[in-house]
Structure 1
Amino acid sequence: MATIRKRGPYQWEAQVRRRGYPAQSKTFSTKAEAEAWANMIESEMARGVWVSRSEAESTTLFEALERYQDEISSSKKGAAQEASIIKMCKAVDLAKRPLATIRSSDLARLRDEWLRDYSAATALRRLSLLSHVFSIARKEWGMESLSNPVELVRKPQPNNARARRLVSVDLAAEIMSLDDAESDRGARDGELERIAAASGSKLLPSIIWLAVETAMRRGEIASLQWEYVDLRRRVAHLPATKNGTARDVPLSPRAVAVLAGMRDEQQGSKGGFADVSDTVPRGRVFAIRSDAVTRAFERAVTRARKVYLDECKEGGRRPDARFLTDLRFHDLRHEATSRLASIFPMHELTKITGHKDPRMLMRYYHPRAEDLAKKLG
């Protein structure tokens, strides 16, 4: 039986007691709201569908995000990246409210605010994290009555598919428009050659060439262990990848040469590429973090672009706006996949790149129209 009583001049308290259920009480600003809530609770108890809302009503989104970071996010491979998303979500005003009071309209307004300042992909990542927080709270934290309001929110469509192909040596020569055959050979280098030459890191050139030869991800290269590299068989084993599946990556002659050079340098030997049967050192191939690879690559691109602009100024040429601009380290994986696609059929290419869904693989395959035209004869 429900009991409605006045508490002070502006509040009404509703209490519901029923055998077999814990007593429930809640305070409202009007008597009508208190009666409506009590009737709903009594109806649910009578039908045997009542579940406690107390935890969902007392736990704020901020508290749920902190618990999610400690219990769920900390065990993920991308915990560091997800921590920044959690930090942004904890900073919004909506984080102060209890989970049970958050509606899809609240999240729709938050989505629109994010879209004004950030890309659709960024807003989508934040919404995806919030959706998982609500799902975990309902499934594992005993908040069975909690719905997931993110499911009702219209998701922005990210336009993050990239078709950036690296400029090769031949195309670079056309861009530079060199008429003097005696000009410096370096002026006709492609983008990769220029970036590697401009790098201030001893490791980055080797990482660049390994990435474009194997289509390995940045994190896979940074965490590559010598014990999983077999130069004789020309295979690099990746026991832990982004999608959770181990795979073997075939190594091209150039990739083997890069790794053999790294081996000889770490061993202090001069065995060279010819002898790949020597014992290899232990530990990581590249003593560098993934984020440091990105920063080193960005600095090298900036320096290479400046050198290119200086050359154009000295030679009286107009610089190409696309050359050494809008480049990311992940573009090396795009480039490698497009190159490998001309060699391997799709079912073999998925084994090399680690894509489980061929549709995702197609996002990385961007053949040049002139290359396809050559196949027509």
Structure 2
Amino acid sequence: MATLRKRNGRWQVQVRRQGFPVQSHSFLSKADANEWARTIERQQDRHELGPNRKALKSMTLAALVVRYRDEVVPKKKGSAVETILLNRFLRYPICQRTLYELTTADFAAYRDQRLSEPKHRSDRPVAPKSLKRELSPLSHMFRHAVVEWEIPVRNPLDGLKLKVTDNKRERRLHAGELERLLAATKKGKNKLVAPIILFALETAMRRGEMLSVQLRHIDFERSSVVIPESKSGYSRVIPLTARAVAILEALRPEDAKPTDLAFPITPVALRLQWDRLTNRAGIDDLNFHDLRHEGISRLFELGLTVPEVASISGHRTLAQLMRYSHANHEAVRAKLIGERHPQTLIV
């Protein structure tokens, strides 16, 4: 920020910005002083002037991550999960490097290390797509540091190569899997897991949307629930089936307050419960988000149109919606057989 003052008939200007050395000059006219200050600030914005090496040498990557975690992440929707990711990242040696010496090569080494590590509960290595999601908060952190905190650090992730194959999941519940999941919930201590699973299938709602629903958002008379703000940033009203309403009514306490949660469980707790549940049920490669796939596909199989399904699922484009809609192949095959003409066509 530029500071001007007139002294001994001359205008003295000083530009101070965190991470850059202090710049000062004196001019006969105030206009010249202002123009010089704007020039220096533009050069700093474009990083044409070298950063203050002393400032960058005194700050480690760990210090930047901690500040971002404590000041910025709590204001974000996915704060709980993002905090876990950042806390895990802080355990790696790369965090001990200073911002001045940090390079893309450091993150390339970190990338290779993470991709060779086995995932929790599996011998498979971490997938590139999963690692990309882990690096996303760090990339935003560097941009935030430059814009909001005026720390002139270069984003070392800009040049990092990470080949990601967009393998669209088509995982739906196989025959008997829902029954096995529900049976396994009876052996667990948390009694909310089974109702949440059934509610997810009935509404095709996202996990975060379900866990943020308060009783004041539910209209039991009209069988609907309001999502004040979804992942896309828009609100929507979801019609509820009789089974979905019954689930909510069964969980509603007699002395409930309007601001009470319909499903009082945290996202992290539900994720841990899901991992234990699928292990107990002996089901592999089934994510909780696959229940949304299953729910949307069932809506199509009931005969709902694309606009009707989109109004429930919250998707804004057809391309987004079709990623989640996977018809039951047995049902499609049965329709094709039923539509087939009984007589042989002669060409």
Q: What is the TM-score normalised by the length of structure 1? A: 0.67
Once the 2 structures are TM-superposed, how far is the Cα of residue 214 of structure 1 from its aligned partner? 0.3
CA contact (8 A) 2:21 2:52 kept: no
Contact kept, 8 Å, 1:199 with 1:299, in 2: the verdict is no
Please list, as runs of the form range in 1=range in 2, the aligned pairs for 1:154-303 lying within 5 A after superposition. Answer: 154-158=161-165, 161-167=168-174, 172=175, 190-200=176-186, 201-263=190-252, 266-267=253-254, 282=258, 283-303=260-280
Shift, 1:91, TM fit: 2.4
Mapped partners of 2:165, 2:52: distance in 1:
35
Equivalents in 2 of 1:24, 1:211: separation in Å? 56
Tell me the secondary structure at the aligned position of residue 261 of structure 2. coil
Separation in 1 of the partners of 2:239 and 2:143?
A: 40
**TM-score, reference length from structure 2:** 0.72
- Quote how far apart the aligned CAs of 1:159 are: 5.4
Aligned to 1:72: 72
- CA offsets 1:115-157 (integer angstroms, 9 cap, x no match): 111221232123222211211111111134x322211111230
Contact 1:228 1:238 in 2 (8 A): yes
Q: Secondary structure at the match of 1:99?
A: coil
Residue 52 (structure 2) aligns with: 53
Aligned twin of 1:370: 330
Residue 236 of structure 1 aligns to a residue in which SS? strand
Q: Which residue of 2 aligns with 1:101?
A: 101
Provide runs of 4+ in structure 1 moved above 4 Å: 19-25
**Structure 1's 255 and 21: CA in aligned 2 closer, same or farther, altered over 3 A?**
closer
Find the residue that maps to 2:265 and give its secondary structure.
coil
Write out per-residue CA displacement over residues 242-264 of structure 1, whole angstroms, 9 at most, x where no aligned residue. 3433221111222123223334x
Task: Confirm or deny: 8 A CA contact 1:119 1:158 kept in the other structure.
Answer: no
Q: Which residue number corresponds to residue 352 of structure 1?
A: 312
The SS at the match of 1:248 is strand
Identity of aligned residues (%): 36
Q: Which residue of 2 is the match for residue 63 of structure 1?
A: 63
Distance in 2, matches of 1:130 and 1:150, equals 8
CA–CA distance in structure 1, aligned partners of residues 326 and 115 of structure 2: 28
Structure 2 equivalent of residue 133 of structure 1: 141
- Paired positions, count: 288
Q: What is the CA–CA distance in structure 2 between the aligned matches of 1:21 and 1:303, rounded to whole Å? A: 63
Structure 2: distance between partners of 1:237 and 1:370 = 34
Letter paired with 1:156: K
Task: Give 3-state SS (helix, strand or coil) of 2:100's partner.
Answer: helix
Partner of 2:132: 124
Distance in 1 between residues matched to 2:272 and 2:150, nearest whole Å: 43
- Find the aligned partners of 1:240 and 1:254 in 2 and give their Cα distance: 24
Q: Greater Rg, structure 1 or structure 2?
A: 1
Matched, 1:112 2:72: no
SS at match of 1:339: helix
Unpaired segments of 5 or more residues in structure 2?
A: 1-12, 23-42, 118-125, 340-347
Name the structure with the higher helix share: 1
For residue 74 of structure 1, report the CA deviation from its aligned partner.
1.6
